[in-house]
Structure 1
Amino acid sequence: MIEIDGSRKSGSGTIVRDAVSLSALVMEDLSLINIRAKRLPKPGLRAQHLRAIEAMAELCRGRLEGASLGAGEIRFFPGRTIRGGSYDWNIGTAGSTTMLFLGVLPLALYADRPSRFRITGGLFQDFAPSVYSLQHVLIPLLKRMGADIDLRILRPGYVPRGQGEIAVDVKPLRRPLAPLTLTEPGKPTAFQGVALSSLLQERRVSDRMADECRKNLEAREYSVRIDPLYDTEASPAYEQPAVQGGAALALWAETDTGCLLGADCAGAPRRSSEFIGRKVARTLMETLKSGATVDVHVADQIIPFAALAEGWSSFRIPEVTDHIDSRLWMVETFLGARTERSNRTLRIRGIGYRRSSAS
């Protein structure tokens, strides 16, 4: 049994999701203690963490012990087969659908058949990547590595009510993931973005976010295309309108060396459209100025996939974060992947993971 102290490194939910996901892949029993012990005043499993590990257990036909809201310790006994097929998971709160998706994705890539997920919860909130970030930055990078993933928004969902929905299709890999090499930042060749607001058309929120973001980029002599979207009951932007008002802005850039970098921000009470526009533009400009080849979200999100790939991946990160340290620790512990960090360059030697059931 692999024993993991969840209070180490970032002490976050990332350790919970990675530990269970990687345990399922290596088929080793897991004991996880001190779950989110540093996350006061609400340590232990929250709804989004609990639903994520339950989803992973369902995928691999595994068994969880002690898994409940607020639990500080669990045991996980993975099954021997990862079963694809159709799954429907509801977090029940505005907890992040994107984080649940990222937890089950490594398993789905090695399932015995294609998977289709429908996940209900929050799509846009602080401290989690937005669905747009995954759609336009992370997933295109994973496709370069050989993954076949399609992610769609069915209904936007915001804090506090959630009830947003995404649909995901994942095909199992036929060969190991290819490594990702992004060592030269290059110069940006295109800026694109999406400015979404729900039930806020009369205040022109989407246009105001887009205008402010565009103005800040054009002041630096960059041209940018940002599509304003209005989600209303009469004319929803997606299949169904959101159940409450909310907003989100996402921006991404491609460079002449093939890098994809993004930035995003969700709306919140007393957070103006103009503030969101300026913040997103500034965040992406700072990432580009840093010489990074991946943004702050992808810098840690890509680590498990690089560790599963065959050969050396290499990329430059904007900064060394607790999440990066946590995920490097996880892939070293569970997979035996070799990792190297020199200043802000990460190199990960993947293990070329294969699974007979994914043939």
Structure 2
Amino acid sequence: MDQETEFITLDGSLLEGGGQVLRNCVALSCLTNKPVRIINIRLKRDKPGLKPQHLSGLQLIRDIFKAELQGDKIGSKEILFHPSDVDQNKTFICDTKTAGSIALLIQIALPPLLFSAPPQKSKLPLPPRTQKAILKGGTNVSMAPPIDFLIEVFKPIVQREFGFNFDINVIGRGYYPQGGGEVILSVDPLVNQALKPLNMIDRGKIINIKGRVTIANSPKDVATKIISGVSQALSNASLPELNNIKPDIEINIEKITFGKGHDILLWAETSSGCIISGSAVSNRGQSPVDVGKIAAEVLLRNIKHGGCVDEYLQDQLIIFMAIAEGKSRIITGPITLHTRTAIHFAEIMSSAKFNITKLESSESQQRVQEHSERLDDEYNVGLHMIECEGIGIKIAR
């Protein structure tokens, strides 16, 4: 790389200290055209440095933006990334060759792809070509959102609120440890258009609960047992707002080439358009009934806090709020460490400004379990409003 290039140096060990720092900062590097040097990558993990999933995501973005990339090897704790021009007329392929999360590949790829329209060759105002990426790895794995979450929760919210279009087509499922899943991500790039600001401050009333159980190369009665676990947990909770609401859970039976697995996504829809979710994927030694109970308990936890988004959607909205035009606002439950991390690095990489306000609510005393011991009390309990004055990124072609 050019020795005169000025890089923004970012410490990947700060706050949550995981792969999210890498994904968001590289995406923002492309969007702001700011070269980055990321050090101490995933330093707080048991096995620090780049894993196949992170390396694959980096190489995907490198290919899309013809970027210069150094340090792209398994175990690397430091990278240099310098974006350039958008590659044109190409379908990109990204294969983790493991059960690395496809959902997290989408997390790094989607924001840059939204602004990846190549220069117009015609004088006619033709719409830009849809950008496509074929992503291979795990669709339903632990420690990452299931692909169903992106389809049923993330996608409808961000499309409606921010005003852009994309599609997620699941070709095949992949579970730990073999992977083998495949998803096609199709994105319609924006031209001369900024994202709209997000405004989700009214939770509304829960009007239904839906779900999807997926069993892959597993006995059919596994699905029934998972649903039984859901029913037990919801019944034991005795939440008044769920009275007279019977979950509508579909069963999806898949034949996959590698391994086996099962999982469930539950989501509650509200009268104001909010979608609150809970999910669980099979782990060794865990019964199908337990899988159902865990998903229901996560859903209940996120319903009880009274916010408009769940703890998993919360941090994924931050990068879009930062690059949108105008003031975005969401009311949410406890602020996760992932969200605080996303805000910290979004403010460094852009001129977006965030503000978190604690709201008074006697009903909201739910704690975020993930990394809760590392969160300040003011963020760990209750309702909060996150506001952001976005930078309004717009690409002229």
Query: Normalised by the size of structure 2, how large is the TM-score?
Result: 0.85
Q: Residue 104 of structure 1 aligns to a residue in which SS?
A: helix
Which among 45, 49, 65 is matched to residue 44 of structure 1?
Answer: 49
Identity in percent: 29
Query: What is the one-letter code of the residue matched to 2:42?
Result: R
- The offset of 1:84, in angstroms, is 6.0
2:145 to 125, 129, 134: 129
AA aligned opposite 1:62: A
The alpha-carbon deviation at position 310 of structure 1 amounts to: 1.0
- In the alignment, does 2:288 pair up with 1:273? yes
The match for 2:367 is none
| Structure 1: distance between partners of 2:203 and 2:297 | 18
Q: Does 1:336 align with 2:351?
A: yes
AA of the residue aligned to 2:145 = P
Equivalents in 2 of 1:227, 1:342: separation in Å? 38
Tell me how far 1:260 sits from its aligned partner: 1.0
What SS does structure 1 have at the residue aligned with 2:21? Answer: helix
Q: 2:329 corresponds to which residue?
A: 314
Compute the displacement of 1:218 (Å).
5.2
Q: Is the 8 A contact 2:66 2:85 kept in 1?
A: yes
Moved more, 211-220 or 112-121: 211-220
Distance 1:213 1:254 in 2: 17
Task: Say if 2:16 and 2:337, in contact at 8 Å, map to a contact too.
Answer: yes
Kindly provide the CA deviation profile for residues 170-213 of structure 1, in whole angstroms up to 9, marking residues without a partner as x.
101242111111112221101111000111125x1122212321
Instruction: Give deviations 1:52-108, integer Å, cap 9, x for gaps.
Output: 111111111101012110001111111133646311111011110110111010111
| Distance in 1 separating the partners of 2:337 and 2:234 | 30
Name the counterpart of 1:197.
215
1:185 is aligned to 2:203? yes
Q: 1:81 — aligned with what?
A: 86
AA aligned to 1:177 is L
2:159 alignment partner in structure 1: 143
Q: Which residue identity does 1:224 align to in structure 2?
A: P
Separation of aligned partners in 1, 2:355 and 2:319: 14
Q: Would you say 1:152 and 2:169 are equivalent positions? A: yes
Between 26-35 and 76-85, the greater mean CA deviation after superposition: 76-85
Are 1:208 and 1:273, in contact at CA under 8 Å, matched by a contact in 2? Answer: yes
Map of 2:112 onto structure 1: 107
One-letter code of the match for 2:269?
Answer: E
Q: 8 Å contact 1:36–1:44 — kept in the other structure?
A: yes
Asked whether the 8 Å contact 1:85–1:114 carries over to 2, the reply is no
Query: Quick one: distance in 2 between partners of 1:17 and 1:291?
Result: 29
Corresponding residue of 1:19? 25
Check whether the contact 1:156–1:165 (CA below 8 A) recurs between aligned residues.
Answer: yes
Structure 1 residues 198 and 213: CA distance shift in structure 2, 3 A: same
Instruction: Give the Cα separation in 1 of the matches to 2:71 and 2:151.
Output: 34
Secondary structure at the counterpart of residue 356 of structure 1: coil
Asked if the contact 2:13–2:42 (Cα under 8 Å) also holds between the matched residues in 1, the reply is yes
Q: Deviations over 1:108-159 (max 9, x none)?
A: 1011131111111011111110000000001101111211011021111101
- Given that 2:138 and 2:174 are in contact with CA atoms closer than 8 Å, whether structure 1 keeps it comes out as yes
Please report how far the alpha carbon of residue 351 of structure 1 lies from its aligned counterpart in structure 2 after TM superposition. 1.1
Structure 1, unpaired ranges of 5+: 233-240
Which residue identity is paired with 2:249? I
Deviation at 1:281, TM superposition (A): 1.1
- Counterpart in 1 of 2:126? none
What secondary structure is seen at the aligned counterpart in 2 of 1:9? Answer: coil
8 Å Cα contact 1:146/1:173 also seen in 2: no
- Counterpart residue type for residue 154 of structure 1: I
Residue of structure 2 in register with 1:229 after alignment: 252
CA gap of 1:116–1:245, structure 2 versus 1, over 3 A, is same
Could you tell me which runs of 5 or more consecutive residues in structure 2 were left unpaired when the two chains were aligned: 1-6, 118-128, 359-383
Could you list the structure 1 runs, at least 4 aligned residues long, displaced by more than 4 angstroms after superposition: none
In 1, are the aligned partners of 2:60 and 2:93 still within 8 Å (CA)?
Answer: no
Aligned pair 1:356/2:373, yes or no? no
Aligned length: 347
Deviates more, 1:109-118 or 1:11-20: 109-118
Give, as a single letter, the amino acid of the residue that structure 2 aligns with 1:65.
Answer: Q
**2:42 maps to 1:32:** no
Supply the RMSD in Å over aligned alpha carbons: 1.4
